[in-house]
Amino acid sequence: MRYVSTRGTAPTLDFAGATLAGLAADGGLYVPESWPTLSDEQIAALAGKSYAETAATVMAPFVAGSLSEDELRALCDTAYGRFAHDAVTPLVQLDHDQWLLELFHGPTLAFKDVALQLLGLLFERFLTGTTEHLTIIGATSGDTGSAAIDAVAGRAGIDIFMLHPEGRVSEVQRRQMTTVGAPNVHNIAIRGDFDTAQALVKAMFNDAAFAGRFRLSAVNSINWARLMAQVVYYFYAAVRLGAPARAVAFSVPTGNFGDVFAGYVAARMGLPVAKLVVATNVNDILARALTTGDYSSREVVPTATPSMDIQVSSNFERLLYDLGGRDGGALATQMRGFEAERAMRLSNAQREGAAGLFVGERVDPDGMALAMRHACERAGQVIDPHTAIALAAARRHLAPDVPMMTLATAHPAKFGDAVERATGVRPSLPARVGDLFEREERCVTLDATYAAVSAHVAAHAVPRG
Ligand SMILES: *Cc1c(COP(=O)(O)O)cnc(C)c1O
């Protein structure tokens, strides 16, 4: 399988190359040159398979040329063996036609583990036998940092430097990052806010001398391998509710459009998906774009669902590329316009293409709290605020004989205060993270200056061979 950039001019890469590169050199995102498909017989045959077997079958065409089927299967066994539930992503029935698809049974209680556990192994595999050493640098406001650190802790050939704003992540989130003892994990608390931390990371990537000394990489959801790993649970869940004989629908709490784009890929591969509900909070750029074609960025409003507090949704570019006839030149022009104006209109082809499958829904804080209460009172399910946004949106799109699955993206204990406010129930942390409060923390605190942060990274990172 070959990977092309959405902006048309970066070199075409194989799967290993696209995984290690993350972002394409022309500023675009890598996508497969064409969508592989599974026949109805192949989809039906997934019904009795384990999660790891399903993962290997669904992902095999995407990694062809870079990994053998046996290698891929072994990586899936390792990555998904670390999940606390045998089904990895179990379904929980809420009522006659609604289910929760629980994605939070990984080591850090966030759905990001599903993709990052595999990505950490892929990085290690593709570096083995080379003299390359990867320096991953990221900034986090909470969840991504802990999932990324857990995924690469102790892996050969990789160091990870994770910046977080000092005092602005929850204690659970901080401890999930700082109590990982592995020597290749470097936590940096920045005396500043998240945007400042993010700007410092960007500055290191854009510093030609710095980027020349170290092989830098990123783990945010622009990395194709992350999206690929998320396609799997759409298949795994759908066949359990009757696919391919029966069409299914999903409602997805959406921020950067990575998770719901994976649902689109599943549909392109042949899974009968009747609808993908793109659920947003009041930061509703995606709901507006899908409803009216207006993709314009406003100020970010902080909410109880921080992972959805975005005003630019990086993976939306992948959808616009695919729906716009895969014309890299035209998309590059469209995106440059957006970067200059912070606003753009979708083309007719993009709007009509999206309308067949996607529907955007904005849910306000009252709708979110109500959904949490309903799930608790009617089905005995305590759900996190992100999941509640998608559940509220799902209720607006129920159709006869189409099972609706709402993706549950975080364990409710990660957002205990908001859950308790809405339901009166305080969810407790699962036993597997139980000694979080006893473990020793490792973290340095630095001033939010480029000199301080880049010097610290340079002193602890391994230069290019
Ligand atoms: C990251 C995240 C999301 C948003 O996923 P995207 O792929 O960015 O759309 C939703 N819920 C939770 C809990 C998350 O951590």
Q: What percent of the chain has pLDDT over 70?
A: 100
Cα 311 to chain centroid distance, Å, stands at: 16
- Ligand 1 center–CA 144 separation, angstroms: 9
What proportions of the chain, in percent to the nearest 5, are helix, strand and coil? 45, 15, 35
pLDDT at 435: 84
Distances (CA, A) of 261 to 63, 202, 250, 258: 18, 25, 12, 5
pLDDT in tens, 176-202: 999 999 999 999 999 988 878 888 988
Distances (CA, A) of 115 to 14, 110, 226, 227, 241: 19, 10, 5, 7, 23
Residue 262 maps to a domain: yes
Q: How far apart are CA 32 and CA 174, in angstroms?
A: 36
The three-state secondary structure class of 56 is helix
- Ligand 1 center–CA 451 separation, angstroms: 32
- For 162, the domain range is 133-220+435-460
The three-state secondary structure class of 289 is helix
Residue nearest to atom 15 of ligand 1 (CA): 307
pLDDT at 431: 87
Residue 146 maps to a domain: yes
8-state DSSP, 439: S
In the chain, the N- to C-terminal Cα span, in Å, equals 28
CATH of the domain at 45: 3.40.50.1100
Q: How far apart are CA 74 and CA 255, in angstroms?
A: 31
pLDDT at 273: 98
Residue 245 burial by Cβ neighbours in a 10 Å radius (0-12, 13-18, 19+): exposed
pLDDT at 159 over 90: yes
User: 166 and 303: one domain?
Assistant: no
Q: Which of 306, 260, 336 is nearest to 9 (CA)?
A: 336
Q: How far apart are CA 410 and CA 368, in angstroms?
A: 15
Active site residue 202: no
* 47-56, 93-102, 173-182, 203-212: segment of lowest average pLDDT: 203-212
The bridge status of strand 215-217 relative to strand 134-139 is: parallel
Q: How many domains does the chain have?
A: 2
Q: Output the six-digit token pair for 462.
A: 């391994």
User: 202 and 81: one domain?
Assistant: no
User: 360 and 378: one domain?
Assistant: yes
Residue 429 maps to a domain: no
Residue 117 maps to a domain: no
pLDDT at 315: 93
pLDDT at 220 over 80: no
User: 159 and 252: one domain?
Assistant: no
pLDDT at 289: 95
Q: Per the omega criterion (within 30 degrees of 0), is the bond before 244 cis?
A: yes
User: 277 and 414: one domain?
Assistant: yes
User: 234 and 194: one domain?
Assistant: no
User: 237 and 167: one domain?
Assistant: no
The three-state secondary structure class of 186 is strand
User: 281 and 358: one domain?
Assistant: yes
Residue 100 burial by Cβ neighbours in a 10 Å radius (0-12, 13-18, 19+): buried
pLDDT grade for 64, boundaries at 50, 70 and 90: very high
Q: Which residues line ligand 1 (CB under 6 A)?
A: 110-112, 143, 221, 253-259, 307-308, 386, 409-410
Contacts (Cβ under 8 Å, ≥6 apart) of 303: 281, 282, 283, 309, 365
User: 392 and 441: one domain?
Assistant: no
- Ligand 1 center–CA 211 separation, angstroms: 29
User: 322 and 400: one domain?
Assistant: yes
- Ligand 1 center–CA 298 separation, angstroms: 19
Residue 301 maps to a domain: yes
* Pocket residue to mutate for ligand 1, from 261, 281, 409, 411, most atoms within 8 A of Cβ: 409
Residue 384 CA, closest ligand 1 atom number: 13
Q: How far apart are CA 229 and CA 231, in angstroms?
A: 6
Residue 120 maps to a domain: no
Residue 127 maps to a domain: no
User: 101 and 231: one domain?
Assistant: yes
Give the gyration radius of the chain's Cα atoms.
21
User: 107 and 230: one domain?
Assistant: yes
Residue 405 maps to a domain: yes
pLDDT at 432: 83
Residue 310 CA, closest ligand 1 atom number: 8
Per-residue pLDDT averaged across 20-46, rounded?
93
